[in-house]
């Protein structure tokens, strides 16, 4: 089950990285939409995340998850 959860989270992380690339290409700054990276494959909650919060999560190898979804998240 943990392997499946990690796979789900990796898919959402990859999608968010592609969104980040597009935002940077468009020179958008400030806040960005991010898909919740919890382990629930049915979760499609979109979060509004500040650029610095997004970068800090990536630097700390953390998944970005909606409030209350922490119990579903695995370590990145």
Distance CA(72)–CA(74), nearest Å, equals 7
Residue 57 — pLDDT band, cuts 50, 70, 90?
very high
The pLDDT, as a whole number, for residue 25 is 72
What token pair was written down for 36?
């919740």
Domain span including residue 18: 2-72
CA 70 centroid distance within chain: 12
Tell whether pTM > 0.75: no
28 to each of 35, 39, 49, 54, how far by Cα in Å? 17, 28, 13, 14
The pLDDT, as a whole number, for residue 31 is 85
The pLDDT of 13-38, averaged and rounded, is: 83
Give the total number of structural domains in the chain.
1
Average pLDDT, the chain: 83
């Amino acid at each position: 089950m943990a392997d499946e959860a990690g796979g789900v989270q990796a898919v959402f992380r990859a999608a968010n990285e592609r969104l980040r690339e597009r935002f940077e290409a468009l020179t958008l700054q400030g806040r960005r939409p991010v898909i919740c990276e919890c382990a629930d494959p049915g979760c499609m909650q979109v979060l509004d995340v500040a650029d610095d919060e997004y970068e800090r999560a990536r630097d700390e190898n953390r998944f970005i998850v909606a409030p209350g979804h922490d119990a579903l998240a695995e370590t990145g």
